[in-house]
Structure 1
Amino acid sequence: MPTHRSSAATTPARPLTWSAARTHPAFRQRLLVALLLLLGISYALPAFFTFVQARPGTVLPDPLLEALPAHDVSAPTFGVIYLSIAVALIYLLPRPTLLLRALWAYALLHLLRIATLWLFPLEAPAHLLVLHDPLVERFFYASQVPITKDLFFSGHTATLALLSLAVGPGRLRQVLAALTGVVAALVLVQHAHYTYDVLAAIPFAFGSYWLAGKGVSL
């Protein structure tokens, strides 16, 4: 005798709309906690980066950087980064479920990066040219000298990798993944990171996104 499955078992749950999300207690709570966590991280970062910059670290051998001439590519680097963030936000803002996961993943990514920076003190690569980020330098870096030791892992590369995951499958993910590769190459041309920092950014982005999915599913 054939069995009949209920429609609830065969029909995937629809993503929340903002009208539904506003009345969803779990969504409101998790969104508030994510925003407060990001605010707390933003408040703590200047003092943490000052600490990172002041302590001695290790110089790592990096054959790729040794073979790669250094050039200042700050303008195209942050042009790609901020354009990618803007496009991803335009996509995510009307989709509260995806946005919530992205915010939690971003907070987790920062916490992981704080942990790795604490555990692995490094000196800046040879021939480093300082990346000049007009927003971060103004609002987050309190030090009077450039911050050059926030190395392992690359936050710029990881952020774009995370955005490519956050928007879900499709053409936009492919575009953002390609731009992640562009930013990874540019920070190496700048000698702003070791090759290891850039390579490690990808699994850390995947891990943050996966953990966020486990913790904030509705």
Structure 2
Amino acid sequence: MASFLESVDLPPAQAAALASQPLGKSWPVAWDQPGFRARLGLVLGLLVGLLAVVPHFYHFIQSRPGQLLPDPLLALLPVHDVSAATFTLMYGSIAAALAFLLPRPQLLLRVLWAYFFLQLLRMLTLWLLPLDPPTALVILHDPMVDRLFGITTQPVVRDLFFSGHTATMALLALAVRGRYWRGALALTTMAVGALVLVQRVHYSYDVLAAPLFAWLAYYLAGRVCRGGVGKL
């Protein structure tokens, strides 16, 4: 339990004492640390600011022509609309991961920072690598994203490298603790990656690269949240 209950501000001896606190008391203890409050407030502000920018960025990405890539691995898979299965797995996994993370403020803080860095990394790669979607694309209908990007006149299909759906699931698998939690979320990550390929909303390169970017975002978040006193 020490790995996710250590304070971002406390020296090792006090961090060890914090690790012995019951989960029900972890939020009051974390909230008493000015560094925790500052990092939490900053990342929440950054995420809100990003929310205002992201729809316009994706509108730009969608309006820009890109390159069609050959993908031998993708050609081996069938083509189906599996939107319902994809988002049932995703939102169910997100709900389960949140149930795990909410009583663990230090881990939750790291996940919030990791998600912020993940969005920045994805915006960077999308800007650097304009791509057109696979020719057999079947539109993926996500009720939350469809509402968020309602300013566009057509679905966003050029947000390709790297797969945000797969990367988000991989990030959750990194964030939780325990063999069963991580195993279940790792399997769900692979399932979501396979489903977006079956739907042809991504190239195989997008899906295979996603866990690497999730790891990078999680690493960067650890640097921000650790404060030099041990791992989260």
TM-score range, shorter-chain basis?
Answer: over 0.9
- In the aligned structure 1, how far is the partner of 2:182 from the partner of 2:41? 27
- In the aligned structure 2, how far is the partner of 1:54 from the partner of 1:174? 39
Q: Summarize deviations over 1:60-111 as a string: whole Å, max 9, x none.
A: 0001222222100000000000000000000000100000000000000000
Q: Summarize deviations over 1:92-137 as a string: whole Å, max 9, x none.
A: 0010000000000000000000000000000011100010000111
| Aligned counterparts, 1:53-68, within 5 A | 53-68=62-77
CA RMSD of aligned residues (A): 1.8
Give SS of 1:130's match: coil
Match of residue 94, structure 1, among 84, 97, 103: 103
Matching residue of 2:8: none
Q: Summarize deviations over 1:150-170 as a string: whole Å, max 9, x none.
A: 000000000000001111242
Matching residue of 1:113: 122
Give the alignment's TM-score, normalised by structure 1: 0.92
- In the aligned structure 2, how far is the partner of 1:28 from the partner of 1:142? 34
Give SS of 1:104's match: helix
Give the alignment's TM-score, normalised by structure 2: 0.87
Match of residue 25, structure 1, among 34, 40, 56: 34
Is residue 50 of structure 2 the alignment partner of residue 41 of structure 1? yes
Match of residue 186, structure 1, among 195, 207, 210: 195
Match of residue 136, structure 1, among 136, 145, 159: 145
Matching residue of 2:13: 8
Give SS of 2:201's match: coil
AA of the residue aligned to 1:56: P
- In the aligned structure 2, how far is the partner of 1:168 from the partner of 1:105? 16
Deviation of the 1:59 alpha carbon: 0.6
- In the aligned structure 2, how far is the partner of 1:201 from the partner of 1:39? 23
AA of the residue aligned to 1:8: A
Q: How many residues align?
A: 212
Give structure 1 stretches of 5+ with no counterpart: 1-6
Deviation of the 1:173 alpha carbon: 0.9
Matching residue of 2:224: 215
- In the aligned structure 1, how far is the partner of 2:87 from the partner of 2:116? 21
Matching residue of 1:127: 136
Question: Is the 8 Å Cα contact of residues 82 and 198 (structure 2) preserved in structure 1?
Answer: yes
Match of residue 59, structure 2, among 43, 46, 50: 50
AA of the residue aligned to 2:55: P
Give SS of 1:145's match: coil
- In the aligned structure 2, how far is the partner of 1:113 from the partner of 1:43? 16
Matching residue of 2:230: none
- In the aligned structure 2, how far is the partner of 1:211 from the partner of 1:141? 31
Question: Is the 8 Å Cα contact of residues 42 and 140 (structure 1) preserved in structure 2?
Answer: no
AA of the residue aligned to 1:109: L
Matching residue of 1:3: none
| Aligned counterparts, 1:67-78, within 5 A | 67-78=76-87
Matching residue of 1:172: 181
- Alignment identity in percent? 54
AA of the residue aligned to 2:218: Y
Q: 1:36 to 1:175 in 2, by over 3 A?
A: same
Give structure 2 stretches of 5+ with no counterpart: 1-11, 228-232
Question: Is the 8 Å Cα contact of residues 45 and 141 (structure 1) preserved in structure 2?
Answer: no
Give SS of 2:192's match: helix
Matching residue of 2:7: none
Matching residue of 1:4: none
